[in-house]
Amino acid sequence: RKEVEQDPGPFNVPEGATVAFNCTYSNSASQSFFWYRQDCRKEPKLLMSVYSSGNEDGRFTAQLNRASQYISLLIRDSKLSDSATYLCVVWRQGGKLIFGQGTELSVKP
């Protein structure tokens, strides 16, 4: 079983749509959680950390459910510039960042 699994993509949505990405992780020792964004052939860039209480940054909302080992990212009012691959990433003590395979989002006019 993969340590971090994400929805297979791609997601094709119109501008203004709300889109949700799901992610599960298998190692219960995972302690920190992130969503990264990766544009085509570029480096991953930190979008936001994910906390158990849930957190929001503008149009982006992230949720974490430790009991079910589930992470989500919601993008509201999607823009053309949101088109990218979204990476679910976990970290555990003494370890390193572990990446999911990514979910590609394409926002169309």
Partner 1 sequence: EPEVTQTPSHQVTQMGQEVILRCVPISNHLYFYWYRQILGQKVEFLVSFYNNEISEKSEIFDDQFSVERPDGSNFTLKIRSTKLEDSAMYFCASTVRTGDYGYTFGSGTRLTVV
Q: Which long-range contacts (CB under 8 A, 24 or more apart) does 42-51 make?
A: 44/87, 44/89, 44/99, 47/73, 47/86
End-to-end CA distance of the chain: 37
Q: Which is nearer to partner 1, 4 or 107 (CB)?
A: 4
Q: How far is the CB of 109 from partner 1 (least distance, A)?
A: 27
Please give the residue ranges that form the binding site for partner 1 (CB under 8 A): 31-32, 34, 36, 38, 41-46, 49, 87, 91, 93-102
Instruction: Provide the minimum distance between the beta carbon of 70 and partner 1 in the complex, in angstroms, as a whole number.
Output: 18
